[in-house]
């Protein structure tokens, strides 16, 4: 009876700190979307909003870490429960880094606004961001629902982000060779695209955490990606 009581107290603690993770995830999704939008519309005010919002994201990570630590100190969880509470710390760390990348994207805005526009590149970056944003939404959903299948789907979709990045990289190289006046813009845009690709990696690591929580083993990042790549290129 006593044990039952302790277990459900832990569950309540966990649920409450997971709710904070979802809140943090929502803030990071907003940051990605607004940063991409500010880039496309050259909206300096929106960019400023993203930069300010990042402080709130950092503060929420601090809070989540402290709460997770308090739960560990209070309940001394072991095995599966420990894994669950540690996942909170790891996932909030990934979210914090994704938020940083969104902030850095927004920071480039004022520089890019003074440079010549490069074809549809900001649109392409926005589409990349949209994919990452939807992956993040699903990664957090499958985290709460402990859905390893959806998590594997998120991991596979990171391949699309990689493909979009590779296509952009090739495009930027072409633009730079065509006209050296494009070089500075393209370097900034390439840097942004690279960071979006890294956001995708971080979302993937959240989805991998979910697979680990549900199945107890780390997913093999090797298989799905490699197979996709080969098929897509040969096809």
> By the criterion CB under 8 A, which residues form the site for its own copies?
58, 65-66, 69-70, 72-73, 76-78, 82-83, 85-86, 89-90, 93, 96-97, 100-101, 104, 107-108, 162, 166, 169-170, 173, 183-184, 187-188, 190-191, 194, 198, 201, 205, 218, 220-222, 225-226, 229-230, 233-234
* Burial classification of residue 164, based on how many CB atoms lie within 10 Å of its CB (0-12 exposed, 13-18 middle, 19 or more buried): buried
Least distance (Å) from its own copies to the CB of residue 193?
Answer: 12
Nearest to 64 by CA among 87, 34, 92, 33: 92
Closer to its own copies by Cβ: residue 141 or 201? 201
Q: Which helix (H) or strand (E) holds 29?
A: helix 2-41
Least distance (Å) from its own copies to the CB of residue 213?
Answer: 13
Whole-angstrom Cα distance, residue 204 to residue 215?
A: 16
Whole-angstrom Cα distance, residue 84 to residue 14?
A: 8
Residue 78 neighbours by CB under 8 Å, 6+ apart: none
Least distance (Å) from its own copies to the CB of residue 152?
Answer: 16
Least distance (Å) from its own copies to the CB of residue 171?
Answer: 13
Least distance (Å) from its own copies to the CB of residue 83?
Answer: 8
Specify whether the CB–CB gap between 189 and 122 falls below 8 A: yes
Nearest to 70 by CA among 57, 58, 88, 55: 88
């Amino acid at each position: 009876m006593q044990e039952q009581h302790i277990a459900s107290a832990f569950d309540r603690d966990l649920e409450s700190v997971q709710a904070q993770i979802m809140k943090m995830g929502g803030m990071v999704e907003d940051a990605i979307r607004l940063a991409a939008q500010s880039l496309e519309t050259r909206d300096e005010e929106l960019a400023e909003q993203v930069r300010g919002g990042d402080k709130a994201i950092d503060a929420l990570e601090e809070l989540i870490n402290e709460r997770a630590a308090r739960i560990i100190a209070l309940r001394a969880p072991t095995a599966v429960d420990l894994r669950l509470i540690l996942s909170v710390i790891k996932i909030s760390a990934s979210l914090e880094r994704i938020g940083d990348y969104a902030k850095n994207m927004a920071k480039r805005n004022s520089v890019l606004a003074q440079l010549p526009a490069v074809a549809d590149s900001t649109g392409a970056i926005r589409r990349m961001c949209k994919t990452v944003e939807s992956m993040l939404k699903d990664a957090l959903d499958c985290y709460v629902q402990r859905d390893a299948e959806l998590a594997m789907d998120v991991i596979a979709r990171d391949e699309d982000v990689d493909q979009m990045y590779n296509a952009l990289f090739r495009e930027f190289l072409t633009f730079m060779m065509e006209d050296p006046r494009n070089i500075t813009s393209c370097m900034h845009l390439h840097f942004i695209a690279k960071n979006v690709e890294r956001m995708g990696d971080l979302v993937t690591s959240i989805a991998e955490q979910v697979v680990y929580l549900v199945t107890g083993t780390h997913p093999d990042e090797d298989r799905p990606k490699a197979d996709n790549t080969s098929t897509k290129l040969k096809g």
